[in-house]
Structure 1
């Protein structure tokens, strides 16, 4: 039976559970449940703190886990990323007092508060910067105001929280994060267990793909077929079918959800008609 870790709370928890449900796995019915056994699919789910998941997976106690890329990097656990899941996007940035116009070089000799000390220390070492890293478990933004730190390193979304504490992000992101599916770096690749692992990855990948792509159907003059297929090449190749009018063809192709309106505009501009975009729930490759 596969053992899979899922975030028990926070912004990653509900989207992770939703993806697993769409992939055909059993959901927990009580938020207090720490484990759920899906006997039909031979998977046991463990609901753990997002920050601990990479450590459990890296130790070999669990086969897979869903958590944030930033948390994986900070854990320094021996795991590898199998899939990016397309939710929970954020940037991990340095931030300092507004008006100082700092760069990362200005961190030399400073005190930096963060809940991700390993990630910050590695970044500073890569940059050749010596600074004091102060570990805090949360609300690091207040540390500068209280005089505990000169700057912070934290997950930044809209930047609203930074503004409330008169802080501003600077420098390039330490990492761009999102929810990821991870497994142990030295995972066993043998027999039936590997088939079960591949099936779980394929199911989740199919759901994520369905969230990121649309199916586009349209009618196209045969005279502009080459232009149309260059606009919508699909994954391998678009499906092209003849219509009753020999001068027209029907085309079906997968297109990225992001930017689909621009694609439809391009098709309309070359004379395509009846352009229809349809949702995909899940698929297999």
Structure 2
């Protein structure tokens, strides 16, 4: 059990009392689809911590930070209210908690990408989203689902239906949303889709997308820890860049250098170094990891030799 207070900031646990008054508080999803990605990100950013078994607070050993492990859905509110200074959560959670105007979104993190979609049974008579208007929908995202169907109700319900108070009925369920249609609880659902396996296994298919989402780094707008937040953001940005790029090293004859640098322009410019053989130079350049095989093929075609690829563990770009 823990308690966070804006004024005192302390933790009460069955095991110890940890003072947090001089630490930046960083909210991390305690489980779910974002948790493991966050741990990898923290490791890459050299944010070292030890989380005691069963405790949701972990002081960082090499920076004045304490990690607070929270449900991802709660992190936007904690950040907006100033209970924690910084947090990682999904874009969908920010929108669902209606905190988008009360937090500052610092960085798209590139993981946890999925879609919040309207889904219906494949064998139902509902073929498009307007067919679901006026019927029953269940979701864990009732704010987003309600706002989405409110607009559809305005557009597709007749004036007589509106006068009678007819509207799409949105109900909240906390888990196993995909089972609601099979149990007769709803005509459709609004739920997150990542790979689509769960949706297909439940006999559902998507007919509309409410929003796209991914993990976001957010901060409290009024935090006094600007310099430390900037340092953490820079480190995380470096980890993300390192995951996207590799360092390509190769030798090329001088007369082909202009062709080579068009293939590997780098983020700013490639590094070109002379070799003892005056007809040849060495080139180093950051290239997108997803494109490296094709780039190597093109370099080989213009005569590049000794083409090497190096993994980047971290960087600042």
Distance change (3 Å), C-alpha of 1:246 and 1:50: same
1:89 corresponding residue in structure 2: 113
Structure 1: segments with no counterpart, 5+ residues: none
Kept in 1, the 8 Å contact 2:249–2:285? The answer is: yes
Deviates more, 1:132-141 or 1:34-43: 34-43
How far off its partner does 1:284 sit? 1.8
Kept in 1, the 8 Å contact 2:116–2:210? The answer is: yes
2:258 corresponding residue in structure 1: 226
| Structure 1 counterpart SS, 2:252 | strand
Q: Quote the Cα distance in structure 1 between the aligned partners of 2:253 and 2:53.
A: 55
Distance change (3 Å), C-alpha of 1:224 and 1:7: same
Distance change (3 Å), C-alpha of 1:204 and 1:225: same
2:169 corresponding residue in structure 1: 132
Question: Are positions 1:175 and 2:211 aligned together?
Answer: yes
Kept in 2, the 8 Å contact 1:17–1:27? The answer is: no
Question: Are positions 1:51 and 2:85 aligned together?
Answer: no
Q: TM-score, normalised by structure 1?
A: 0.91
Deviates more, 1:106-115 or 1:233-242: 106-115
Q: Quote the Cα distance in structure 2 between the aligned partners of 1:106 and 1:243.
A: 69
Deviates more, 1:136-145 or 1:246-255: 246-255
1:111 corresponding residue in structure 2: 136
Question: Are positions 1:122 and 2:147 aligned together?
Answer: yes
1:146 corresponding residue in structure 2: 183
Q: Quote the Cα distance in structure 1 between the aligned partners of 2:151 and 2:48.
A: 43
Kept in 1, the 8 Å contact 2:238–2:315? The answer is: yes
Kept in 1, the 8 Å contact 2:51–2:57? The answer is: no
Q: Deviation digits for residues 66-103 of structure 1, max 9, x if unmatched?
A: 11221122111122321122222222211111144622
How far off its partner does 1:199 sit? 0.5
In the alignment, which of 21, 25, 38 is matched to residue 16 of structure 1?
38
Q: Quote the Cα distance in structure 1 between the aligned partners of 2:150 and 2:126.
A: 22
How far off its partner does 1:3 sit? 0.8
Q: Quote the Cα distance in structure 2 between the aligned partners of 1:61 and 1:103.
A: 42
Root mean square deviation of aligned Cα: 1.9
Q: Deviation digits for residues 9-41 of structure 1, max 9, x if unmatched?
A: 112112212211221212333341110122531
Kept in 1, the 8 Å contact 2:250–2:283? The answer is: yes
How far off its partner does 1:55 sit? 0.8
Q: Quote the Cα distance in structure 2 between the aligned partners of 1:31 and 1:14.
A: 16
Q: Quote the Cα distance in structure 2 between the aligned partners of 1:125 and 1:241.
A: 62
Which protein shows a greater Rg?
A: 2
Q: Quote the Cα distance in structure 1 between the aligned partners of 2:103 and 2:47.
A: 23
1:80 corresponding residue in structure 2: 104
| Structure 2 counterpart SS, 1:120 | helix
